[in-house]
Amino acid sequence: MPLSEDAMSDDEATLETTPLDSLHRELGAKMVPFAGYAMPVQYADGILKEHRHVRAAAGLFDVSHMGQVRIPGAGAAEALERLVPGDIQGLEAGRMRYTQFTDETAGILDDLMVTRLEDGLFLVVNAGNKAADIALLQAGMSGFEIDYQGDRTLLALQGPAAAEVLARMAPEAATMPFMSARAITVDGIEAFASRSGYTGEDGYEISCAGGDGERLARRLLAEPEVAPIGLGARDSLRLEAGLCLHGHDIDPSTTPIEAGLAWSISKRRREAGGYPGDAVVRRQLADGPPRRRVGLLPDGRQPAREHTAITDSEGIVIGEVTSGGFGPSLEGPLAMGYVAAGHTAADTEVGLVVRGKSLPARVAKMPFVPQRYYRG
């Protein structure tokens, strides 16, 4: 899984901690460096059981390392559209959208979630990129306050039982539409919840004051359906759901069109442009990109990890794996990567070069496991 590639690269002496650090250790978590933070990769049950628990019931993830940013101001949506291809002005208050920061070549500097508020915007950006993202926002949205809320907790409650669990404490959560957000109160704790997540399951991301984070986490974990889940299962869940991880499946060398993210760019933004790399996006929409992100299903049980070469039937390299591992729900290996145009059709036979040996595989449609977002 991509998690292991960079997880141990940080100097432990300089690691930051989230407000739930002591709780993780109390629960027996295995802590690893990740994006500059000490984070739980798994608990006593292990990654496979944690993964399956999320698919069957509800799991609680600490994602407080992510960057939470509030941008007040009536014109914030219009200003942000100078930096992203997503339709931010078209959002109603209380609704959210997935988009990307792009550069002049349409390379993806980061991906993010944007929520429209009555008086501005709320952004969640990736942990490893948040310093650069904040600098980008400050430079590109001159005149707006970029309020980085680094003192807040962010929890993800994910799984088919998530709505039932949260509704016991905040009944209004049960009928929240997918990709919506609102203020809720959980056991006296004021929070801001969105119906979204990174597992392919129904669920919520819940932001609260850092000082309330441990109490909120304990309250949720007290429910019989809820178990603590680490970063290892988060990675296998998102891979089965066909979701990109920045720095692996998307980065400044990939465009939204190559990555299969054209769905995140509305007709208005495609036509009007006005964001970095808009000409490249228009050209790739019209002519097709030179390569595309695809799902891959290896034959047998051998997984193909990141940077594994992908070859065609004649052994010619046509691409590279960007994420790969074992899918507990799929009960077999799976991967995603980029292949040259002309090799992207489902069931195309390819080779994956693992330890010098080409293993047979085929291009597969994603998600590998059906997504079960709430549609209401």
pLDDT at 7 over 60: no
Average pLDDT over residues 282-310: 97
In a domain, 347, yes or no: yes
The residue among 281, 251, 287, 237 whose CA lies nearest residue 263 is 281
- 304 with 376, same domain: the answer is yes
Q: Is pLDDT above 70 for 3?
A: no
Mean pLDDT of the chain: 96
pLDDT score at 11: 57
Whether residue 284 is contained in a domain is answered as no
At 94 the pLDDT is: 98
pTM for the model: 0.95
DSSP assignment of 266-305, as one string?
-HHHHHH--STTHHHHHHHHHH--SEEEEEEEESSS----
Statement to judge: residues 356 and 234 lie in one domain: no
Q: Which amino acid is at 187?
A: D
According to the model, what pLDDT value does residue 153 have?
A: 98
Pairing of strands 120-125, 332-340: unpaired
Q: Clarify whether residues 159 and 16 are in a common domain.
A: yes
Q: How many helices (H) and strands (E) does the chain have?
A: 10, 19
Q: Is the pLDDT of residue 328 over 90?
A: yes
CA distance 246 to 350: 25
- CATH number, domain with residue 315: 2.40.30.110
Q: Could you tell me if 167 and 225 lie in one domain? A: yes
pLDDT bucket at 244, cuts 50 / 70 / 90: very high
Please say which residue of 210, 240, 270 terminates a domain.
Answer: 240
3-state secondary structure of 61: strand
pLDDT band for 376, please (50, 70, 90 cuts).
confident
* Cβ-based burial of 288 (10 A; exposed 0-12, middle 13-18, buried ≥19): middle
Structure tokens at 79: 């200003």
Per the structure, the complete domain to which residue 191 belongs is given by: 2-67+150-240
Tell whether 143 is covered by a domain.
no
Mean pLDDT of 113-122: 98
45 in the same domain as 186: yes
Same domain, 357 and 224: no
* Number of domains making up the chain: 2
* Largest distance between two CA atoms of the chain: 63
Which 3 state secondary structure label does DSSP give 86? coil
55 has a pLDDT exceeding 70: yes
Residue 134 CB coordination number (10 Å) = 18
